[in-house]
Copies of this chain bind each other. A is one copy, B any other.
Amino acid sequence: MKRHAKKDYPLHLIRRHLEPGPVVLVSSAWKGKTNIMTMGWHMMMEFTPALFGCIISNQNHSFTLIRNAGECVVNVPTVELADTVAQIGNSTGGELDKFAAFGLTPARAAIVEAPLIAECYASFECRLYDGSQIEKYNFFIWEVVKAHVAPTPKYPRTIHYKGEGEFRVAGDTVSLRKRFRADYL
């Protein structure tokens, strides 16, 4: 599968890749073990610091690695990886090395231990910012501390999970820039 050459990306602009609501692959590392999980329940929370919230069920093998490490990488796949995304979401890292099993390439992150996924066009290194809601909701509040985004594709065909085994693919782009106040763009 195609690997994406990613570049440093401004943290205050990461909403461009996360706010549309794509399914993401979360990579983690703890004591020499890595894992990958598929995740769809997430949102932007703040521009600066770049805060990002998500639900990681404590039923996931990744939960323990991510909670112990207090770090993870949020990677954004496109439709070419849809089958892999579904398979990862339906297997457990207790049983296998997901990088090897699914032909994905770990790449060294700049700040955190967890690896980037080379086949994803965007990767965001995250450090735990606030763990106070984990116990009650499995809700993690992350600060994105480093962002990597490939310059192309300009309009990535991200996938958006709707249940029932179905994904919607990001399609047409509509620009309504003329309607926007400059400070709201």
Contacts and interface: CB of A to CB of B under 8 A. Distances in A.
A160 B19 contact: yes
A53 to B, nearest CB: 7
Nearest to A172: B169
Interface string A71-89: 0000000010011001101
A104 interface: no
Interface residues of A, number: 58
A109 interface: no
Contacts of A15: 162-163
Contact of A179 (B22, B43, B86, B157): B86
Contacts of A172: 79, 168-169, 171
A54 B46 contact: no
A162 B20 contact: yes
Highest count of chain B CB atoms <10 Å: which of A89, A158, A162, A175? A162
Q: Looking at A46, A51, A166, which has the most chain B CB atoms within 10 Å of its CB?
A: A166
A174 B159 contact: yes
A89 B176 CA distance: 11
Interface of A: 13, 15-17, 19-22, 40-46, 51, 53-55, 79, 82-83, 86-87, 89-90, 133, 137, 139, 141, 155, 157-181, 184-185
